Amino acid sequence: MSNKMHIKLTVNGAEEEFLAEPRELLIYTLRERLGITGPHIGCETSHCGACTVNLNGKTIKSCTMFVAQANGAEVTTIEGMGGPDALHPLQEAFKEHHGLQCGYCTPGMITRAAKLLEENPSPTEEEVRFGMAGNLCRCTGYQNIVKAIMAAAADMSSSKEAAQ
């Protein structure tokens, strides 16, 4: 169609270039166009956070952002956070502390938590709960998610200290 827009994105370090309708949502681009299925769709109204990705240094809900608005952006999804050979400390901590059950919210949770710990490397429990309030979980009651994030924060700051 003639109204397609020329979009450039960097997703998990890879440059992507394509034509998209102005109404195409970022979550659709990621999941359907690029095959990046870690971010999920849960509510389509920005409430649940299953679609959370980090975009230009901010946590966003990709279900309510047009890909046109993300033109030129750098996007990080769960797939960009760590793989089988080197898990991100948050991925390790969620496994260790039973911070997930059905797994549907988990990619968004971990993606958001990573940004939260960048913003605040040693948060209190209250700060974690507040900082994660944009991500809903129906299975865990959050108690072990909070525990996992606190543990990852401690782990990350001790490795940082060791590196220094």
Partner 1 sequence: MKDEVTREERVDALGGMGCKRKRVEDARFTQGKGNYVDDLKLDGMLFGDFVRSPYAHARVKSVDSSAAMEVPGVLAVLTAADLEPLGLHWMPTLAGDKMMVLADGKVLYQGQEVAFVVATDRYAAADGIESVEVEYEELPVLVDPFEALQSDVVLREDLLGADGGTPDGAHGPRNHPNHIFTWEAGDKDATEQVIGAADVVAEEMVYYHRTHPCPLETCGCVASMDKVNGKLTLWGTFQAPHAIRTVVSLISGIEEHNIRVISPDIGGGFGNKVGAYPGYVCSVVASIVTGKPVKWIEDRMDNLMTTAFARDYWMQGKIAATKEGKITGLWCHTTADHGGFDACADPTKFPAGFMNICTGSYDIPTAYLAVDGVYTNKAPGGVAYRCSFRVTEAAYFIERMIEVLAIELGMDAAELRRINFIKAEQFPYQSALGWEYDSGDYHTAWGKAMAAVGYDDLRAEQAQRVADFKAGKTRKLLGIGLCHFTEIVGAGPVKNCDILGLGMFDSCEIRIHPTGSAIARLGTISQGQGHATTFAQILATEIGLPADSITIEEGDTDTAPYGLGTYGSRSTPVAGAATAMAGRKIRAKAQMIAAYLLEVHDGDVEFDVDRFVVKGAPERFKTMKEIAFASYNQAIPGLEPGLEAVSYYDPPNMTYPFGAYVCVMEIDVDTGEHEIRQFYALDDCGTRINPMIIEGQVHGGLTEALAIAMGQEIAYDEMGNVKTATLMDFFLPTAVETPHYTTDHTVTPSPHHPIGAKGVGESPNVGGVPAFSNAVHDAFRAFGLRQSHMPHDHWRIWKIANELGLHG
**Contact region with partner 1 (CB under 8 A), list: 68-76, 114-122, 128-136, 153-161:** 128-136
Q: Which of residues 131-150 bind partner 1 (CB under 8 A)?
A: 132-146
Between 97 and 116, how does the x/- string for binding to partner 1 read (CB under 8 A)? -x-xxxxxxxx--x------
At 124, phi and psi to the nearest 5? -80, 170
Helix or strand or coil: residue 30?
A: helix
Q: Distance between CA 151 and CA 117 in Å, rounded? A: 11
Return the structure tokens found at 153.
Answer: 């924060």
Q: How long a stretch of residues is the chain?
A: 164
Q: Is 5 in the site for partner 1 (CB under 8 A)?
A: no
Return the structure tokens found at 159.
Answer: 């490795």
**Contact region with partner 1 (CB under 8 A), list: 65-73, 91-99, 116-124, 150-158:** 91-99
Element (H, E) at 109: helix 106-119
Residues lying near partner 1 in the complex (CB under 8 A) are found at: 21, 23-24, 28, 31-32, 35-45, 47-48, 50, 77-79, 81-84, 87, 91, 94-96, 98, 100-107, 110, 128-130, 132-146
